[in-house]
Amino acid sequence: MRLRILGCSGGIGGRHLRTTSMLLDHDVLIDAGTGVMDLSIAELAAIDHVFLTHTHLDHVAALPLMVDTVGDMRGRPLTVHASEAALAILGQHLFNWSIWPDFREIPNPERPFLRFAPFEPGERRNLGQGRWISPLPAEHTVPTVGYLLESAQGSLALSGDTGSCPAFWEAVNQRTDLRALIIECAFSNREEALARVSRHLCPNALVAELQQFAHADHCDIYVTHLKPGQIELTMEEIETCLGNFRLRMLQNNQVIEL
């Protein structure tokens, strides 16, 4: 598996800040933030599946435009996988004919450009070519999951947007083949109260979470979702707080191979 980081910022601004989106090989998208907008039309048309962690705008902003752009170029619907609760939000608030057309009915309900596929924690979905994906528990202000990606060479865990979540670590710690962890840290410590109420992490909270991580000594750890304008401060605080944890900031256009 080849995971290409299209966007990993908690906001926009400048050429290199794109919100969360990751391309798995050529055909699977994990979240659909503004990073998707840098793909070519051919690359967009090749994507068959989109797995959403949750429905906040920074994770779905490109999805309606993507469907509109390449729907008529594809021989089958683009499939969006998410929890049933998250898909209900998408249908009610985005693909609702007011914000955007409901592409589950275009050009007709029998052969639509878009379809929803409910996907809940405890399930494991075969992506073909020796690839598997499973939802992981997460805690956020809307229905949210993280994801576990598996190949024959190892696995990668993605927290998604989350606050403190012991169930996430319980699931991740069961893996004996985990090679990488991508975990959010949206705020600096000076906004710790805001991080707590919005169910995000700051460096102090990140330390407490990683202390529950059984594989920290042999797993690559990447931090994502830093807010623009606070990137340097947050990374300085992370380096001060985390001590011996091996952690790097996730970079736009970075490739992680499993």
Which value, to the nearest 10 degrees, does the dihedral of the CA atoms of residues 225, 229, 233, 234 take? -10
- The band of 249, judged by pLDDT with boundaries at 50, 70 and 90, is very high
Residue 243: pLDDT over 90: no
pLDDT given for residue 121 in this prediction: 85
Q: What is the pLDDT of residues 196-216, one digit of tens each?
A: 999 999 999 999 999 999 998
Dist. CA 230–CA 232, nearest whole Å: 6
Query: Domain residue spans in the chain?
Result: 2-257
E strands within the chain?
2-7, 21-24, 28-32, 49-51, 78-82, 114-118, 125-128, 131-137, 145-151, 154-158, 178-184, 220-224, 247-249, 255-257
Q: Tell the CATH superfamily of the 2-257 domain.
A: Ribonuclease Z/Hydroxyacylglutathione hydrolase-like (3.60.15.10)
Other CB atoms within 10 Å distance of the CB of residue 13: 9
Q: What is the pLDDT of residues 6-37, one digit of tens each?
A: 999 999 987 789 999 999 999 999 999 999 99
Q: What is the pLDDT of residues 124-175, one digit of tens each?
A: 999 999 999 999 999 999 999 999 999 999 999 999 999 999 999 999 999 9
Mean pLDDT over each residue of the chain, to the nearest integer: 96
**Phi, psi of 46, rounded to the nearest 5 degrees:** -80, -10
**Phi, psi of 30, rounded to the nearest 5 degrees:** -110, 110
Q: If we measure between CA atoms, which residue out of 197, 255, 188, 170 comes closest to residue 225?
A: 188
Q: What is the pLDDT of residues 84-93, one digit of tens each?
A: 999 999 999 9
Please, which residues bridge with residue 148 across strands?
134, 157
**Checking DSSP bridges between strand 114-118 and strand 145-151, what pairing results, if any?**
unpaired
pLDDT given for residue 217 in this prediction: 86
pLDDT given for residue 134 in this prediction: 98
Asked whether the CA dihedral 214, 216, 222, 224 is positive or negative, the reply is positive
For the entire predicted model, the pTM comes to 0.96
Beta-carbon contacts of 230 under 8 Å, excluding residues fewer than 6 positions away, are 187, 188, 191
